[in-house]
Amino acid sequence: MKHALVVVLALAGCRERDLATDARTAAPAIGAASTRILYPSAPGSFVDLVAGARHGVVAIRAAAPVKSGPAAMFPGAPEQVADVALGTGFLIESKGVFVVTTDHIATASTELHVVLPDRTEVPAKLVGRDLQLDLALLSVDVPRLQPLPLGSSDDLQVGEWLVVLGDPFGDDITASVGIVSATGREGAGSLAAGRMMGFRTFIQTDARIHRGNSGGPVIDTAGQVVGVAVATSDRLGELSFAIPINRVREIVDALRDYGQVARSWLGVLVMPVTPAQVQALGLLKPSGALVTELKAGSPAARSGLRPGDVILKWGDREVDHRSLPWIVAATPVGKPTNVLVWRNRAGAQLSVVTEKMPE
């Protein structure tokens, strides 16, 4: 009886993998909503998942050897060993097919090459950089490349399986597996002026991410990219981080068209509205972003916002403490925006003009 149960579970796992493969085949390249078909529990193998995504993973190389790259990871190798290997990237669709990787990889050499999935090595051009997110966009003059489908990092749940793919040396795909340790959705407050986005903004995972697969895709069990791998250290046991793919979606057009990202700045600190505060504030439900502090001389201070206000809507979009920083950042600099706030147990309309986020 025990053997029969094992067989039934194994066959169920095969059907789940077939569904996941079908989902990858049918998934749109970018932007469109898609159904996420996930394993209900740990699959017996990730072989099919890796095979279905390898067409979109590339290696990034320098034209001349660079020190402290992936070659220095080998046990016993000196840290200053030189090699042309820089790291990993992946193909993305954005009015053409481009390569996404991390900025620290893309700027490690003045001349970049990309090793495509068919092992063809081609020159690459640095199109755009975002230092705050440590992201870079490269272009390659090659037709009929197949990008990876993008998922939604906002749908991730703690405990969900992730697969990190890499191609550090341009000769084989590497993979590591783990779960979502933290989603990063509660860390939007670390989107602040003058510094790189903090670790609380990133996805945390126990999947191994080293400098060789830094810049590579982090995929869910539907075969969709939900993050960009970021290597923080090669020391075992440290947390691994990934840039949420929704942050990439927000800036890829700007990187492609302008080579950089101009984020807007409001200058407030916000917290969630707790159920206990709903009655005290006279709100109908625990929604919005509670303003706790205004930065001196900021657009928020000039607009008449006050500590204790609850920002309910930014333009025509409802907001909370997590979504507000990203929505503000994506607002065109200098554009007046109607903002609905809750103040003195009633709604009030303010006009806010954002500024470019200080460096």
9 pLDDT higher than 60: no
pLDDT category at 70 given cuts 50, 70, 90 is: confident
pLDDT for 326 equals: 83
Q: What is the mean pLDDT of residues 245-263?
A: 92
pLDDT for 213 equals: 92
Say whether pTM exceeds 0.85: no
Higher pLDDT, 7 or 48: 48
Q: Are 244 and 184 in contact (CB under 8 A)?
A: yes
Q: What is the pLDDT of residues 295-335, one digit of tens each?
A: 898 999 999 999 999 999 999 999 998 888 888 988 888 88
Q: What is the pLDDT of residues 160-177, one digit of tens each?
A: 999 999 999 999 999 999
pLDDT for 358 equals: 78
Percent with pLDDT over 70 in the chain: 81
Contacts of 282 (CB under 8 A, 6+ apart): 342, 345, 346
pLDDT for 19 equals: 38
39 pLDDT higher than 90: no
pLDDT for 81 equals: 83
Phi and psi at residue 271, in whole multiples of 5°?
A: -135, 165
pLDDT for 234 equals: 58
What residues are paired with 163 via a beta bridge?
Answer: 177, 219
Active site residues: 104, 134, 214
Neighbours of 336 (CB within 10 A): 11
- Rounded CA-CA distance 117/89 in Å is 11
Q: What is the mean pLDDT of residues 63-67?
A: 89
Question: Judging by DSSP bridges, how do beta strands 57-67 and 121-130 pair with one another?
Answer: unpaired
- Rounded CA-CA distance 203/220 in Å is 13
Instruction: Provide the mean pLDDT of the chain.
Output: 84
What the chain holds in terms of domains, given with CATH numbers, is 1-260 (2.40.10.120), 264-356 (2.30.42.10)
pLDDT for 190 equals: 42
Lowest mean pLDDT among 32-36, 116-120, 315-319: 32-36
111 pLDDT higher than 70: yes
